[in-house]
Amino acid sequence: MKLFAIFGDPVAHSRSPLMHNSVFKNLNYKACYTRVHLQDGSKLRETFFALKLSGANITVPHKEAAYTACDEVRGFAKKVGVVNTIVNENGKLIGYNTDADGFMFAIKEFGAMKNILVLGAGGTAKALCTKFIDAGIKVTVLNRTALRLAYFKELGCSCFTWDDFIIGNYDLVVNTTSAGLKEEILPCPLELAEKILAKTSFAADAIYGKETPFLKLSKSKEITCKDGADMLLGQGVLANELFINYELKTEDIKKFMSKSFEL
């Protein structure tokens, strides 16, 4: 029996255990997926080994700590320095990032994007912005502080804090901050959020499982929007394939993960 887990703080809200266990149970794969509340990201590696895990997902706020916890980081995760999936490969921790592809899957229905505003400058923002720039999309990043903006400037994004923001026109605004996850707060001051929402066609939130104040405000302005559920599904399917080394069919994984959303 293989054991998998999600590490995060908070982590109680995470749907990942339901999603992955739905796949394992329905496809008779001998594995189980649990959640671990981890406050200190520097303890990730030792906790992973103490629990004898075969793999893990990493959520807020440990995705950058997860990068340093790995013995080797592959593909897109290496480029962005952000890991959301770890696989135990013969005692070595191998890191991947499936969030960005999960998000691209989620926004397909909005059509082609030319101009995206990203709220937040954390691990998820890094992954998404890098993917957008790679896809030739013009990206603006708005964060409450300037501390984490250097990466985004280097990447070629236009970067602002709340104090120096120069607004533009956007196809999509994405909330990648954790504002709205635990507390009922907007990712930026109300006045700014209202101005931004007047300049966008679509809005998306990485947070799932609840209507955040950001989504509520978007809906009140009659903007087509979506929460992070499809992103979660997209990243989860890709992570599951890595966990079990592609032993199950993608369509079957997707089918049973989607079913878990009905629970």
Does the protein bind ligand NDP through residue 145 (CB under 6 A)?
Answer: yes
Does the protein bind ligand NDP through residue 206 (CB under 6 A)?
Answer: yes
Nearest residue (CB) to ligand NDP, 21 versus 92: 21
Q: List the one residue from 155, 181, 192, 223 that touches ligand NDP (CB under 6 A).
A: 181
Does the protein bind ligand NDP through residue 169 (CB under 6 A)?
Answer: no
* Cβ atoms of residues 15 and 42 within 8 Å: no
Does the protein bind ligand NDP through residue 245 (CB under 6 A)?
Answer: no
What are φ and ψ of residue 98, in 5° steps?
A: -115, 0
For residue 111, list its beta bridge partners.
Answer: none
Question: 25, 43, 63, 79: which is the annotated catalytic residue?
Answer: 63
Does the protein bind ligand NDP through residue 178 (CB under 6 A)?
Answer: yes
Q: Which of residues 76-105 bind ligand NDP (CB under 6 A)?
A: 99, 102
Letters for 8-47 (x = contact with ligand NDP by CB under 6 A, - = none) are ----------------------------------------
For the CB of residue 236, give the shortest distance to ligand NDP in the complex, in Å.
Answer: 7
Residue 234 C-alpha from the chain's centroid: 10
In order of 78, 108, 109, 158, the CA distances from 137 in angstroms are: 21, 14, 16, 12
Q: How far apart are CA 129 and CA 135, in angstroms?
A: 10
Nearest residue (CB) to ligand NDP, 79 versus 144: 144
In order of 76, 93, 94, 114, the CA distances from 149 in angstroms are: 20, 29, 27, 21
Q: What is the identity of the amino acid at 75? A: G
Residue 43 appears among annotated catalytic residues: no
Q: What is the identity of the amino acid at 215? A: L
Does the protein bind ligand NDP through residue 209 (CB under 6 A)?
Answer: no
Q: List the one residue from 204, 225, 232, 244 that touches ligand NDP (CB under 6 A).
A: 232
For the CB of residue 33, give the shortest distance to ligand NDP in the complex, in Å.
Answer: 15
Q: List the one residue from 2, 43, 78, 144 that touches ligand NDP (CB under 6 A).
A: 144
Binding segment toward ligand NDP, per CB under 6 A, in 48-56, 88-96, 132-140, 200-208:
200-208
> Which residues are marked as active site?
63
